[in-house]
Chains A and B, each alone.
Chain A
Amino acid sequence: MVDKIIIENLSLQYSDGTESLRNVSMGIRQNAVTVLFGPAGGGKSTLLRCLNRLNDLTEVKASSGRILIDGENILDPKTDVIALRRKVGMVFARPVPLPMSIRENIIYGLELAGEKRKSKLDEAVERSLKLSAVWDEVKDRLNDPAVALSGGQQQRVCLARVLALQPEIILLDEPTSGLDPISTGKVEGALLELKKEFTVILVPHSVQQAARTADHAAFFLTGELIEYGDGKTLFTNPKQKKTEDYIMGRFG
Chain B
Amino acid sequence: MMTKFLSRNRHTVQRLGFIAITMVVIVTIIPIIGTIVFILVKGGSAISLEFLSGFPHDGMRAGGILPAIIGTLYLTLGTAVFSVPLGIAAAIYLSEYAKDNQVTRLIRLAIINLAGIPSVVYGLFGLGLFVLFLKFGTSILAASLTLSIMTLPVIISTAEEALRAVPQSFRTVSISLGATRWQTISRIILKEALPGILTGVILGLERAAGETAPILFTGAAFFLPRLPHSVFDATMALPYHLFVISTQVPEMPIQIQYGTALVLLVFVLTMNVIATVIRSRARARRQW
Considering only CB atoms, which chain B residue lies closest to A147 in the complex?
A: B287
By a beta-carbon cutoff of 8 Å, the part of chain A in contact with chain B is 52, 54, 57, 82-83, 85-86, 89-90, 92, 94, 96-99, 108-109, 112-113, 145, 147, 158, 161-162, 165
Decide: B173 and A92 in contact? CB cutoff 8 A.
Answer: yes
B166 to chain A, nearest CB (A): 9
Please classify the interface of chain B as helix (H, G, I), strand (E, B), loop, or mixed, using the class held by over half of its residues.
Answer: helix
B255 part of interface (Cβ distance < 8 Å): no
B81 part of interface (Cβ distance < 8 Å): no
Decide: B288 and A52 in contact? CB cutoff 8 A.
Answer: no
For chain B residues 188-202, which have a beta carbon within 8 Å of chain A?
A: 188, 191-192
Report 15 cross-chain contacts, Cβ distance below 8 Å, ordered by A residue: A52-B176, A57-B172, A83-B178, A85-B176, A89-B176, A89-B177, A96-B167, A96-B170, A96-B172, A98-B174, A98-B188, A108-B174, A108-B177, A109-B178, A112-B183
B248 part of interface (Cβ distance < 8 Å): no
Decide: B173 and A98 in contact? CB cutoff 8 A.
Answer: yes
When distances are taken between beta carbons in the complex, the residues of chain A under 8 Å from B167 are 96
Which of A86, A112, A162 has most chain B Cβ within 10 Å? A112
- B159-195 vs A, CB cutoff 8 Å, 1 = contact: the mask equals 0000000010111111111111001000110011000
Supposing A57-B175, A96-B169 touch, asked if A82 and B180 sit within 8 A by C-beta, the answer is yes
Docked Cα-Cα span, A90 to B286, in Å, equals 25
- Lowest 10 CB-CB distances: which A-B pairs, in order? A109-B177, A99-B287, A86-B178, A96-B169, A85-B178, A147-B287, A90-B176, A96-B173, A82-B178, A112-B179
When distances are taken between beta carbons in the complex, the residues of chain B under 8 Å from A89 are 176-177
- Name the contact of B170 in the complex, choosing from A54, A94, A98, A145 (C-beta under 8 A): A98
Supposing A54-B172, A94-B169 touch, asked if A145 and B177 sit within 8 A by C-beta, the answer is no
